[in-house]
Amino acid sequence: MYRSIFLLLILTIGIMADKVSLLETKVTLKIYSAEILESVIMRLEMETGQHITYSTLMLLPYKAKARDYKDITVKDILNEQLSDTPFKYRMGKNQLEIFNALTGDSSANIISPVKY
């Protein structure tokens, strides 16, 4: 019984560590003024090797903020890039999700084309 509780605790800590580690992952990206917000999210997926759930149609109209990020956490990049938009991010079951904070909708049925 104690072994089962111990294993459950270890698994829970491991899952929580994965959720934190994606947001705390440091990346280097140069974002250009011609880019749209969707391309920033796609590039974060490629840099981290982690899938991020978002709606292409939802992000399409929004421009990215031109920046040169060097060794910056995904969390800091998302905070800056999503500011002045209706979007926020949250950790789902095992992945990061971009959603519309005004409606709570992520339109997850329309997800990014990048698969890992």
Predicted model pTM: 0.73
Q: Are 87 and 100 in contact (CB under 8 A)?
A: yes
Cβ neighbours around 39 below 10 Å, total: 15
Cβ neighbours around 103 below 10 Å, total: 10
The answer to whether residue 50 scores a pLDDT higher than 50 is yes
**62-71 average pLDDT score:** 97
Q: How confident is the model at residue 113 (pLDDT cuts 50, 70, 90)?
A: very low
Beta strand residue intervals within the chain, DSSP E:
26-31, 52-53, 67-73, 87-91, 96-100
Q: What is the pLDDT of residues 15-48, one digit of tens each?
A: 444 445 889 999 999 999 999 999 999 999 999 9
The pairing of strands 52-53 and 96-100 is parallel
Classify domain 2-100 by CATH number: 3.55.50.30
